[in-house]
Amino acid sequence: MAPKVWSNFVAKKSDGTQVKVRIEDMPSNRLDEVLNLLSLYGENEDVFVKLLGIPNNPEAAEELKQTTRDMLSASPHNIVICRPDDDSNGDIIGVSITGITLAKDKLEDFKIPSKTKEMEKLWDYYIKLFGLYDICKANSLTSFSDDRGLAVKPGYVDFEIRKELLNVGRKISKANNVSTVFAWMQTKLAQEAAEADGWLTAYEISREDLGRQLGITISEGPPSWKLMYGKSI
């Protein structure tokens, strides 16, 4: 059975060349490619991952990849890939993972025992970050969709592909009978792409205030981090 195609559009390469692409459900045999792309590009734009030096520690980097794999096998997720719009098994250009969180779910309940100090701290940072704002309580929701990984391969204009992946996340949310999808946007590019797709800000915290709460110095990225949401379409 052919993968469901969520979107067809024209993307641009960095040299200005246009290419027809599609966003479709990930075939099961391409999971390792997805994990590698997320490891190489998605996680390298994660401020916490970079602050902890995870890409420079092979053991921690491998543990992060395995943690992602375990997360995907532990509960249902929708994984979509962006690739050339043809019948070839073309290179994956972008990837997005969407999951569903219930009101009763707490991130700490899903914490996997860490083998490295870097991963232990990463869990700590994200548990504190997601504890800043109770999405379900603040919005009277029993569940919501949430972004659990998004990456675009270098060599393409990131903005349009990212925007389209976010749009598909809203479509997936509707297909799962969930009204809203949420995501923490750590970079200016991510925030601008979300805004271009009609996402709004549910919660915002300055880079300095977030650093103080976590006991770290965040010296890069936008002035504030935004927890943004898009309505299902």
DSSP reduced 3-state for 66? helix
Q: Which of 192, 60, 223, 98 is nearest to 50 (CA)?
A: 60
Is pLDDT above 90 for 90?
no
Q: What is the mean pLDDT of residues 212-220?
A: 94
Q: What domains are there in the chain, each with its CATH number?
A: 5-231 (3.40.630.30)
The pLDDT of residue 45:
81
* Nearest Cα residue to 197 out of 9, 3, 4: 9
**Reported confidence tier of residue 22, pLDDT bands at 50, 70, 90:** very high
Average pLDDT over residues 22-38: 95
Q: What is the DSSP letter of 198?
A: T
